Each structure stands twice: as structure tokens, then as C-alpha cells.
């Protein structure tokens, strides 16, 4: 398949989710940057792509898709290469539970940990109680994800799935904070984290610009979906 255009900045964890999948598929694509700090997601050009001013957005041969929860399964289905959707109904449920947890609870909690340390000016005055709450919430998220994983190598089974691509980019942000050891002190997490970091797609999709823009975008909590 050809004609893939991905709209979004490298600092978005959700954009990186899609980029990891594209890397695993060996797919060629064009990436069009959408800079959160310059307000580009809210400018008319991008609002025409995504009515809520979020990234990523994907165009594929004239077909436009918004929201990572729709983009990733679509690409996994239509692109050649290995599938990252489990074969069994139970493992697919595990994958979808993990993706839902990140969307509903995990993103906000884990991003709050990173934002506290790197760009507090974007989230208001440093609040120690808020930091502690974010750590507790983040650990709860990771504990549930590792519970879903059980004895499997990855979150939804022995091979990696879309769930791992959802979780890894956000954990990358937290890993660079002084709170990483406390947040990651969850049974089963270390093994999973080591395996994910060793994946070529994880290594190939590290943001290409300075961490300042990455954390500013993350701390702002804007323009990602």
C-alpha cells in the first residue's frame, strides 16, 4: 500500500505509537510536523484535518482517519507484514483493555509525572501533592497493565501487540524523570520494559529533536489523541 501521510510532531506519544507500528511494518510514509507549541493543531489548516485539533491524523490513499485508536488497528489490518493484533479473542480483549486504560487513565497520570519535573511553568506552580498523586495514579495504571500481562512476555501475549506500542512512548517520558524508579517499581514491569526498549521500532522512533520540545508538548497535555 502507498500514499501514507502522518500528521503530528515527534513529541506526541500517540504519534510515536503510530510510528512504531509503521516501523514494524516496514512501511514508507511521509510525516508532516504539527507543532503544538506554535499552536498549529488549533490553526485552521489542521482543524480542517481534525475538528478537535488533535494529533495524529492519517491520510491513506485519500482516506482520512483521526484518533490513534482507529489509526493503529486500521494500519495493522491493511499493511503487509506481521500482525500486531492477537489471534485469540481473550488476547485481543487484553490488548483492548490496555489501550483503553491508557486512553482513559494512563496518559493523564504518566504525563503529569513528566510535566511536573520538566515544564512546571506550563502546568502551573509545582504542587508536591499533585506530584505524589500522579505517582500513585501512574503506579496503579502500570500495576493493572502488568496484571493484564500476567506471565506473558508482552502485554497481550508472547509477541508484541498494539497495546505495547500504546504504553511504551509514555513510559519513555517517565523514564527520564527523577520519579522513574518509584513509578516503575511495579512487579513484572522491568522485564516488559527491557524487552520493549530492545525492539528496533522503539529505538528507531526516538524523537529527532531536543527533549525540551518533547516535554513541553507532553506537559502541556494538548493536541494529542
Q: What is the pLDDT of residue 220?
A: 44
pTM of the predicted protein model: 0.90
Kindly report the CATH number assigned to the domain that includes residue 67.
3.40.30.10
Pair (113, 194) in one structural domain: yes
Residue with more model confidence, 181 or 219: 181
Residues present in the chain in total: 225
Pair (98, 190) in one structural domain: yes
Pair (66, 97) in one structural domain: no
Round the average pLDDT of the chain to a whole number and report it.
89
Sign for the pseudo-dihedral over CA of 182, 185, 191, 195: negative
Pair (128, 61) in one structural domain: no
Residue at which a domain ends, from 78, 99, 114: 78
Q: What is the pLDDT of residue 116?
A: 79
Pair (98, 199) in one structural domain: yes
Cell of 69: 485508536
- Residue 171 contacts residue 110 (beta carbons within 8 Å): yes
Residue 216 lies in a domain: yes
Pair (65, 101) in one structural domain: no
Kindly report the CATH number assigned to the domain that includes residue 123.
1.20.1050.10
Three-class SS string for 40-63?
HHHCHHHHCCCCCCCECEEEECCE
* C-alpha 18: how far from chain center: 8
pLDDT in tens, 52-101: 999 999 999 999 999 999 999 999 999 999 999 999 999 999 999 999 99
Q: What is the pLDDT of residue 10?
A: 84
Q: What is the pLDDT of residue 219?
A: 44
Pair (211, 118) in one structural domain: yes
Residue 127 lies in a domain: yes
Q: What is the pLDDT of residue 225?
A: 60
Pair (104, 33) in one structural domain: no
Number of domains in the chain: 2
pLDDT in tens, 143-154: 999 999 999 999
Q: CA neighbours within 13 Å on the CB side: how many for 208?
A: 8
Domain that holds residue 65: 4-78
Residue at which a domain ends, from 34, 55, 78: 78
Pair (57, 117) in one structural domain: no
Pair (108, 182) in one structural domain: yes
Q: What is the pLDDT of residue 1?
A: 43
pLDDT in tens, 109-137: 999 898 777 665 555 566 788 899 999 99
Pair (21, 119) in one structural domain: no
Judge whether residue 181 has pLDDT over 60. Answer: yes
Residue with more model confidence, 35 or 175: 175
Pair (52, 134) in one structural domain: no
Amino acid at each position: 500500500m502507498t500514499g501514507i501521510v502522518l500528521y503530528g510532531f515527534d513529541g506526541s506519544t500517540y504519534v510515536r505509537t503510530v510510528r512504531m507500528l509503521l516501523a514494524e511494518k516496514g512501511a514508507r510514509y511521509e510525516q508532516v510536523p504539527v507543532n503544538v507549541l506554535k499552536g498549529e493543531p488549533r490553526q485552521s489548516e489542521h482543524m480542517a484535518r481534525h475538528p478537535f485539533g488533535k494529533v495524529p491524523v492519517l491520510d491513506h490513499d485519500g482516506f482520512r482517519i483521526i484518533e490513534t485508536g482507529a489509526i493503529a488497528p486500521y494500519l495493522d489490518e491493511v499493511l503487509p507484514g506481521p500482525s500486531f493484533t492477537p489471534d485469540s479473542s481473550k488476547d485481543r480483549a487484553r490488548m483492548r483493555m490496555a489501550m483503553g486504560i491508557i486512553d482513559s487513565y494512563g496518559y493523564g497520570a504518566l504525563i503529569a509525572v513528566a510535566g511536573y519535573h520538566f515544564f512546571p511553568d506550563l502546568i502551573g506552580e509545582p504542587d508536591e501533592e499533585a506530584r505524589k498523586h500522579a505517582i500513585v495514579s501512574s503506579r496503579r495504571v502500570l500495576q493493572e497493565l502488568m496484571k493484564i500481562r500476567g506471565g506473558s512476555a508482552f502485554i497481550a501475549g508472547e509477541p508484541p501487540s498494539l497495546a505495547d506500542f500504546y504504553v511504551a512512548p509514555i513510559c519513555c517520558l517517565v523514564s527520564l524523570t527523577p520519579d522513574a524508579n518509584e513509578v516503575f517499581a511495579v512487579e513484572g514491569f522491568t522485564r516488559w520494559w527491557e524487552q520493549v526498549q530492545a525492539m528496533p521500532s522503539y529505538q528507531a522512533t526516538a524523537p529527532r529533536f531536543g527533549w525540551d520540545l518533547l516535554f513541553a508538548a507532553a506537559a502541556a497535555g494538548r493536541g494529542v489523541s
